[in-house]
Amino acid sequence: MKLLTSPFTPVSICVVGSGYVGLVAAVCFAEIGHHVVCVDNDEAKVESLRAGKTPIFEKHLSELLARHLGRGLAFTTDLRTAAAESEAIFIAVGTPQSDTGAADLSYVEAVVSEIASSICGYKLIVEKSTVPVYTNEWIRRVLQRYGVSSSSFDVASNPEFLREGTAIVDFLHPDRIVIGTSSERAMDVLQRIYHPLISGSYYALPAALRGSCNRNSPPPLVATSAQSAEIIKHASNAFLALKISFINAVANLAEAVDADIEDIAAGIGLDSRIGPRFLRAGLGYGGSCFPKDLSAFHLVAQEQGVDFQLLQEARKINSAQRDRFYNKILSALWTLRGKRIAALGLAFKGDTDDIRESPAIDIVRRLLDGGASVCAYDPAAIDRSRSVLPESPQMSYARSTYEAAEDADAVIILTDWKEFAALNLARLKACLRFPIVIDGRNLYSVQTMCDAGFDYISIGRPIAASANLGHAEQIAV
């Protein structure tokens, strides 16, 4: 691969889709100096973005939107014009899971069909959405079916590796930039796009967001075939899901033999071949990526005749983890009917308002079905949660942890927000009817909660039991 050595020149970029990936990519491409137009067919959403309002909770997103809106970044519903006026078109539309478990690529196909009518001169079309292997080839076929000459376009894969809550910094300070294409022309355009990052020049700017990369240590560029790039994305998410499921399975063993999963994870994570990240026992993974990507990757393997049962086992462990936590609540409270429970956290993880496939939402639903009343608090996800957990005599929302805990029979910690790990424990205890905390994220040490006078039940660790808990420690699972 020939690395680009010429000076940076801005590229006109069209990003199709203003969802999580598309919006983050659009503002970050503008941040590194390109001319970007972001397209969405939702007129109300586009108008809101034009007014500087962000539809998702994400650190630095509002800041960068305000910095570049009208100065290199625009929003429109007119895909054909935006595509015609751009050199590179990034497809970042949704690929939801279908009934079969496969990724639904109908949105991708619809976008490609519309792009076909706007190609006048060379265009680079880039997969940014998470898609199964050979999607690159299908995009090429669709364009050719619409009569687009193969000399007028290239298709490349450029997967994203963003974590919700840190997506902006992840984009600007990536572990790697993966580009999948066999075309030198496509590689040239993508190197020009990422030039400020791979050359390190962005990090020398006074207003650059700080992170792990710098001018002397820019992110590496990984050049592969399109098929390899598509698999890299799916395999990365699958491996992280496997790692989470593995540590939860170990946590269940730790509970059975009175060991401590926090000590075990620390000992495992110090091995440089393994590392400590994603070795946190808890309720399992959720969100919009891991569940559907694991399912889609497993299906792709099956279609190619590859027996990848390991992925199916990870999904089983993840599902069972929620069952175990629900049973912990039952063991601590005996019955749910008539009990008032304070639920801390609704988002699938901290630092986001995303409730898609959230273990927290699932647990709250089970509690309501079991006859409990729930008062929930989340720093960012309450508005979204009301759409799936409407207020009722059983379901209510609080403005703080302590309001949620007022006269509750127990507190359950469901999301790893930092503020939930720094509570005033004396104040929390004074709010509760009984000092019972059931922690699905292991945010506190057992000793700390014991010293504070709580009956504390967590994942893969001994129970801090007092007289209030009775014999629950003997039956908790």
Alpha-carbon gap, residue 69 to 52, rounded angstroms: 7
475 — pLDDT class (breaks 50, 70, 90): very low
Q: State the amino acid at position 297 in one-letter form.
A: F
Pick from 103, 104, 110: nearest CA to 39: 110
Task: Answer whether 263's CB lies under 8 Å from 269's CB.
Answer: no
- Is domain 321-475 annotated with CATH 3.40.50.720? yes
> Where do the structural domains in the chain lie, given as residue ranges?
12-224, 237-317, 321-475
Residue 14 appears among annotated catalytic residues: no
Fold held by 237-317: N-(1-d-carboxylethyl)-l-norvaline Dehydrogenase; domain 2 (1.10.1040)
DSSP 8-state code for residue 380: S
Fold held by 12-224: Rossmann fold (3.40.50)
pLDDT per residue as tens digits for the range 187-205? 999 999 999 999 999 999 9
Question: Is 477 a residue whose pLDDT tops 80?
Answer: no
3-state secondary structure of 379: coil
Asked whether the CA dihedral 221, 289, 203, 417 is positive or negative, the reply is negative
Is the pTM of the predicted complex or chain greater than 0.85?
yes
Tokens 């050719």 sit at which residue? 144
Neighbours of 95 (CB within 10 A): 24
| Residue in 289, 375, 431, 450 annotated catalytic | 289
- Asked, colleague to colleague, whether 12-224 and 321-475 share their fold, the answer is yes
pLDDT per residue as tens digits for the range 333-358? 999 999 999 999 999 999 999 999 99
Tokens 């400590």 sit at which residue? 276
Report, as an integer, the average pLDDT of 153-172: 95
Element of type H or E holding 267? helix 261-269
Task: Answer whether 286's CB lies under 8 Å from 356's CB.
Answer: yes
pLDDT per residue as tens digits for the range 358-389? 999 999 999 999 999 999 999 999 999 999 99
pLDDT per residue as tens digits for the range 404-439? 999 999 999 999 999 999 999 999 999 999 999 999
User: Packing angle between helix 20-31 and helix 61-68, nearest 10 degrees?
Assistant: 50
